[in-house]
A = this chain, B = another copy of it.
Amino acid sequence: MAEANISDLIEQYLKEILSQDDFAEIKRSEIASRFAVVPSQINYVINTRFTLQNGYVVESKRGGGGYIRIEHVDLVDDTKIFDELIDYIGDSIGENNAGQIITALLNDKVVSEREANLMAAAIDKNSLRISDKVSENTVRARVLVGMVNRLRFESTNTHG
């Protein structure tokens, strides 16, 4: 039970808000000055304590009237499966293995056929083709185009 660092306090404060409202919409500079820390520490707290794995979705906007919104989302029942899957995937995975995972998710009815198709489109070799100077945006575009194209078809099996 060691503690009392400021990040923990900020975490507590935000979770307090979340225990009452569906989401916490804050102004970064406001929270920073409330706790007398630099604004970027708010990002640190969010990045380390309000991650997807922990069940939080964060969205933000800059500029005038900017904000950071933290939302808590419900976990599905058996989250262990996903943890194992993610462990298995690790840092790198080939197209075949990835396709098998998607097929397994489909077989177990974790995802619908449409959803499986979307996932297959996203990880398709063509979508992810990387050359030296390719940018993040370029890859993203390919991924998105692949997925959008997939939506044209009602239901088609494409992975495996």
Contacts and interface: CB of A to CB of B under 8 A. Distances in A.
Contacts of A71: 156
Contacts of A141: 89-93, 98
B2 A75 contact: no
Interface stretch (A10-18, A33-41, A126-134): A126-134
Given A98-B144, A119-B122, 16 more contacts: A52-B149, A53-B152, A55-B152, A59-B159, A71-B156, A73-B156, A76-B153, A82-B148, A82-B149, A85-B148, A86-B148, A86-B149, A90-B141, A91-B141, A110-B151, A130-B135
A89 B144 contact: yes
Taking residues whose C-beta sits less than 8 angstroms from the other chain, chain A's interface range is 35 or more
B140 A123 contact: yes
B158 A57 contact: yes
A47 B90 CA distance: 32
